[in-house]
A and B are shown apart, each in its own frame.
Chain A
């Protein structure tokens, strides 16, 4: 059986885990291509207009996999990845949203295991084992073995990230975001790049942002370079615990970067109409201001053009460069 994994949304977080797990169950795994014009415009066409752009792109990725003739689409329902927290509501509803168009788009059957660690942290192991049994007829021990190799693959990925490599260096066949040249190290500025991985690392959605920043002299600091647990701990410095794990990572990163003065400036990428970011934006901007770290918020949607983006980041980086000379 060939299973398609859309190269979108949580792909950027969990691909090594999912791929290894599905392969371990005897499936062949195929990912959709990098986001491109066709994928995005098809997604925009079928998705509800008010949705954020990464979710629209997800629809397009599902269609690309359908065209490649996969036997099934992997669209897990990732409800929660830690105790007492959620992901984004849109991830909770994703299988139903895709399910609603599956008929009219003639999508292959959807595989939608429900992963929910909100009540009990270990539960997700059982949930995946149930999935392995129901979908692949795997016995307990076989499922456990597949889970174990998946866990190791994910750990290697995370270790690589912590070592400063970008998700795109580690995920297969992704050569986006490579700068054409870079200024010498002593002329670079440390720029914290904040945002959801499926936005910042999707070179099409963010108009080659990473490469452009590096060409302009950014030494990028990424949330993924810090261990998840350290980020989580740093995120507790708020009046009420955030209940969205991925926003907590973002909060943790800005708290850490500002407190330890790890960056000279921050570029914060958020999707138009992103629910969680629309709120924590207030706290993030406040935090940066408090610590005197310049921050630029960049909103992306399906109409964002590269020219506008370049002008804005150029102005921002110029300002940072001048700041240093002034000091």
Chain B
């Protein structure tokens, strides 16, 4: 069995680890590229949201390099994600591919069904063993998320452009090699030290921006033209509201993001008092959150036509009546170009800087410049 799954940010490092422990051969699809997207868009319905189109491209490319089993996460709405898998399977079969398809429905849906999926991949696996594997694999994923979070904060201060990204790659390699619990723990501090060691110019006056929006757009740099790295290198300190491991473990209080789901929902309540699927409510709650923390601005990222985010976008002006914070909304589809995005981002940064100059009191409060 050669198993594969869509690409998304650093998910492949996590899957490589997980499938390795289960004794299943994992085929990483070639990194998402323009070709992947074109391929996916060609075979997907026109109005499908962007993540589905890239998924299709990934699956085709994975099948082409020899994957014979595809896994996709499920869910129960109300947005599209929970039905992606069914539609993706249909599209691929209509294209004539032969493969085994596995929909992995959330753990909370039923532990037994969840276990059975893994047991079918790794016969003889006991529930206890699965639990141990998931736990250790997850701890590694957590450590990787922490590295990325720190990189988002520190890149703004790097003395030499590109150092943070290079350090991050090195740090990820250290993490990838760790296997036992002890090794993971050691690698976590060793890799974090690599990031912290990047030479900085701590006196730099940086803008602080919160990134909110749809899960995939936030987690897959290919889908947003590496926006976070670009912003960091323009000297912007970033916090992001969505993290893979926070999503996998929704009951763990968003430890990476740092603000429990409940807190964020409460902040959204006056404006959007309902889960509308995806991250719609979280986008509103986090916008309020970043505004309260005195961030200079917020960027909302979404796939074109994303329902939960379109709802959020509709509501943002009302949030802004109460919280004075600039928001830049960027929607992406297969026609979006990098140049247009960068122009809009640059104009936004100009606006934020002008606001800072006009409101000297709004400059960074001492101590809030993170621990740079």
Contacts and interface: CB of A to CB of B under 8 A. Distances in A.
Nearest to A244: B77
Contacts of A262: none
Contacts of A141: none
B103 A240 contact: yes
B199 interface: no
B84 A89 contact: no
Nearest to B317: A100
Interface string A26-60: 00000000000000000000011011000000000
Contacts of B79: 89, 275
B146 interface: no
B217 to A, nearest CB: 14
A275 B49 contact: yes
A33 to B, nearest CB: 24
B78 interface: yes
Interface stretch (A124-132, A168-176, A277-285): A277-285
A281 B76 CA distance: 19
A283 B87 contact: yes
Contact of B45 (A85, A89, A240, A278): A278
Q: Most A CB atoms within 10 A — which of B46, B86, B304? A: B86
Contacts of B91: 282
Contacts of A12: none
A100 B314 contact: yes
Contact of B47 (A77, A89, A243, A273): A273
Interface string A135-146: 000000000000
Contacts of B232: none
Contacts of B306: 275
Contact of A278 (B49, B274, B276): B49
B280 interface: yes
A99 B318 CA distance: 9
Given A86-B77, A89-B276, A282-B91, A275 B307 contact: yes
Given A279-B84, A281-B45, A84 B310 contact: no
A239 B86 contact: yes
Interface residues of A, number: 41
Contacts of B278: 89
Interface string B259-290: 00000000000011111111010000000000
A239 B82 CA distance: 13
B314 A51 contact: yes
A239 B321 CA distance: 46
Given A50-B305, A278-B80, A97 B47 contact: no
A242 B86 CA distance: 10
Interface string B49-89: 10010000000000000000000001011111011111101
A47 B86 contact: no
Contacts of B331: 50
Interface string B95-112: 000000001000000000
B311 A90 contact: yes
B80 A100 contact: no
Given A50-B331, A93-B280, A286-B94, A279 B45 contact: yes
B308 interface: yes
Contacts of B94: 286
Contact of A88 (B46, B78, B84): B78
A272 interface: yes
Contact of B83 (A90, A99, A279): A279
Given A86-B78, A279-B45, A96 B274 contact: yes
Given A238-B86, A282-B91, A243 B274 contact: no
Nearest to B47: A278
Nearest to A114: B274
Contacts of B46: 278
Contacts of A280: 83, 87
A51 B315 contact: no
B304 A50 contact: yes
B273 A96 contact: yes
A89 B307 contact: yes
B21 to A, nearest CB: 28
A272 B274 contact: no
Contact of A51 (B80, B103, B310): B310
A160 interface: no
Contact of B274 (A48, A93, A279, A281): A93
B42 interface: no
B313 interface: yes
A288 interface: no
Contacts of B84: 279
A143 B313 CA distance: 37
Contacts of B103: 240
Contacts of A86: 77-78, 277
Nearest to B315: A100
A244 B75 CA distance: 12
Nearest to B82: A243
A274 B103 CA distance: 24
A274 B47 contact: yes
A276 interface: yes
A99 B78 CA distance: 21
A79 B78 CA distance: 9
B166 interface: no
Contacts of B274: 77, 79, 92-93, 96, 114
Contact of B307 (A90, A114, A239, A272): A90
Going nearest first, the 3 A-B pairs with the smallest beta carbon separation are A278-B47, A93-B311, A86-B78
Given A89-B311, A273-B305, A279-B84, 12 more contacts: A51-B310, A89-B307, A92-B275, A93-B276, A100-B314, A238-B86, A243-B78, A244-B77, A275-B49, A277-B47, A278-B45, A278-B49
11 contacts: A50-B310, A88-B78, A88-B307, A93-B274, A96-B272, A96-B315, A101-B317, A240-B83, A244-B77, A273-B305, A275-B79
